[in-house]
Amino acid sequence: MPAQITPVRTKADLRRFIRVPWRIYRNEPHWVPPLISERRRFFDRAKNPFFEHAEAEYFLATRDGEPVGRISAHVDHRFNEFQDNEWGLFGFFECEDDPEASAGLLGAAETWLRERGRDRMVGPMDFTTNDECGLLVEGHDRDPQVLEAWHHPYYQELFATHGLEKAMDLLKWELHIADREKVLPVVSQLAERLEPDHGIRIRHMDKRHFASEVAEFMQVYNSAWEKNWGFVPLTDAELRHHAKEFKPAIDENWAMIADKDGKMVGAALSLPDYNQVLKHMDGRLLPFGWLKFLRGRKKIDRVRVHALGVRPEYQHTGVAAGLYIEHFNMAASTPQTGGEMGWILETNEAMNRGMEAMGGRVVKRFRVYEKIFRAQ
pLDDT of residue 285: 77
pLDDT at 361: 94
141 Cβ neighbours under 8 A, 6+ residues apart: 30
Mean pLDDT of the chain: 92
The stretch 143-162 carries a mean pLDDT of: 96
Please give the average per-residue pLDDT across 195-203, as a whole number: 95
Q: Would you say how long the chain is, in residues?
A: 376
pLDDT of residue 174: 94
232 Cβ neighbours under 8 A, 6+ residues apart:
76, 78, 79, 82, 83, 128, 129, 130
Q: By percentage, how much of the chain surpasses pLDDT 90?
A: 75
Please, are residues 177 and 335 in contact by the beta-carbon 8 Å criterion? no
Task: Let me know if 365 is exposed, middle or buried by CB neighbors in 10 A (0-12, 13-18, 19+).
Answer: middle
Write out pLDDT tens, residues 311-362: 999 988 999 999 999 999 999 999 999 999 989 999 999 889 989 998 999 9
Mind giving me the DSSP string for 218-253? HHHHHHHHTTSTT--PPPHHHHHHHHHHHGGG--GG
The torsion angles phi and psi of 287, rounded to 5 degrees, stand at -85, -20
Give the chain's end-to-end CA distance (angstroms, integer): 31
Beta-ladder partners of 168: 368
What pLDDT, on the 0 to 100 scale, is given for residue 286? 64
> Is the confidence at residue 287, as pLDDT, over 90?
no
The answer to whether the predicted template modeling score (pTM) of the entire model surpasses 0.85 is yes
List of domains in the chain: 4-170 (3.40.630.30), 174-365 (3.40.630.30)
Rounded CA gap, 124 and 347, in Å? 19
Neighbours of 221 (CB within 10 A): 23
Say if residue 53's pLDDT is above 90: yes
CB 282: neighbour CB atoms within 10 A?
12
Q: List pLDDT tens digits, range 82-105.
A: 999 999 999 999 999 999 999 999
Tell me the pLDDT band of 289, cut-offs 50, 70 and 90. Answer: low
pLDDT digits (tens, 9 = 90+) for 1-25: 889 999 999 999 999 999 999 999 9
Long-range contacts of 9-16 (CB under 8 A, 24+ apart): 13/58, 13/60, 14/40, 14/43, 14/58, 16/60, 16/67
Determine the residue type at 78.
Answer: R
Packing angle of the helix pair 11-24, 36-43 (nearest 10 deg): 130
* Predicted pLDDT of residue 217: 87
Query: Rg of the chain's alpha carbons, rounded to an integer?
Result: 21
pLDDT at 288 over 70: no
pLDDT over 70, % of the chain: 97
CA 320 to CA 314: how far, in whole Å? 10
Looking at mean pLDDT, say which of 133-137, 211-215, 341-345, 356-360 comes out highest: 133-137
Q: What is the per-residue pLDDT for 48?
A: 95
Q: What is the pLDDT of residue 94?
A: 98
pLDDT at 294: 67
CB 112 within 8 A of CB 343: no
Q: Is pLDDT of 115 > 60? A: yes
pLDDT at 293 over 80: no
202: CB partners within 8 A, 6+ apart: 194, 256, 257, 258, 259, 322, 323, 326
Distance between CA atoms of residues 151 and 210, nearest Å = 34
